[in-house]
Structure 1
Amino acid sequence: MPSRDFKRTDRVGAELRREIGTMVHAAVRDHGLPSCSVSDVEVTRDLDFATVWVTALLPAQSKEAVKALNELAVEFRRTLSRQMRLRRVPELRFKYDDSVDKGERIDLLLRQDADRPVSDENDD
């Protein structure tokens, strides 16, 4: 029996990421939401819940974007049930992915540290 490289939850999560990414892009355009995109989808083992991680172009508007997407989650789920071949589409929960913001902050700190002159402690 061949070994499976991916778990079913991984395959479902990847398919959800593609479909939801398209729907979020359309929602941003149609509903005037702050610009955001889907970075990842994590599905529980029982496929009951899916956490959709989103990033915002402007981090200051992230709370507004996540709130609006959570309000649209029922509509997204209904659309997914028509588009995907799943017995039961997971309940969607949108959360803000701050990893990009943290990465930019680390990059900024490293650049500031690189610009700082190195002092030689052995100059006594």
Structure 2
Amino acid sequence: MKPFSRADRVGELIQQVVSEILTRNIRDPRLKMATITGVKMSKDLRNAKIYFAVSGGSEKVDGALLGFNSAMGYIKRVLAGELELRYMPELKFYYDKSFDYGAHIDALLKSLNAEDGKDHSPFETE
């Protein structure tokens, strides 16, 4: 049995190529700080959910979504040349909320430490 499915491998390739496109070719200021965090492919390779992260609040997220939608044609053209698939997958961009959730949990833990007045680090010396 193969350790990764074809959909996983194609998703990783899409993530790599779209990340390179963002850093080298796209000049849209709305996408300047966007980072591709993952790609989920359908098993038939027809749909790709591309997850991104951007700092700066909901206004930046909305701007990045608009930027990705305006650059969709260019991204698809470059991907088509790299992927060598029979069908070009339909691309959908989604904001990855996991970073916000992690920051929220970190803030909660820090507030608990501040309320307790103790540092519960594993390297505490007595």
Same structural fold, with TM-score higher than 0.5 when normalized by the shorter chain? yes
Count, aligned residues = 115
CA contact (8 A) 2:28 2:67 kept: no
Q: What are structure 2's unaligned runs of at least 5 residues?
A: 118-126
- Within the candidate set 22, 39, 59, 1:24 is matched to 22
Q: Which has the higher contact order (CA 8 A, sep 6+)?
A: 2
Structure with higher Rg: it is 1
CA distance change for structure 1 residues 102 and 27 in 2, over 3 Å: closer, same or farther?
farther
Question: CA separation in 2, counterparts of 1:27 and 1:69?
Answer: 13
Q: TM-score, structure 1 length as denominator?
A: 0.84
Partner SS for 1:33: helix
Q: Alignment RMSD, CA only?
A: 1.6
Deviation at 1:89, TM superposition (A): 1.9
Q: What are structure 1's unaligned runs of at least 5 residues?
A: 119-124
Q: TM-score, structure 2 length as denominator?
A: 0.83
**Deviation digits for residues 21-58 of structure 1 (CA, Å, limit 9, x no counterpart):** 11122355x12224111000001111111010000032
**Deviation digits for residues 56-87 of structure 1 (CA, Å, limit 9, x no counterpart):** 03233111101210221222111111122212
How many percent identity over aligned positions? Answer: 25
CA contact (8 A) 1:25 1:36 kept: no
Q: Which residue of structure 2 lines up, in the alignment, with residue 73 of structure 1? A: 72
Q: What pairs with 1:1-124 in structure 2 (closer than 5 Å)? A: 3-26=1-24, 30-34=27-31, 35-60=33-58, 61-117=60-116
Runs of 4+ in 1 over 4 A off after TM superposition: none
Question: CA separation in 2, counterparts of 1:65 and 1:26?
Answer: 17
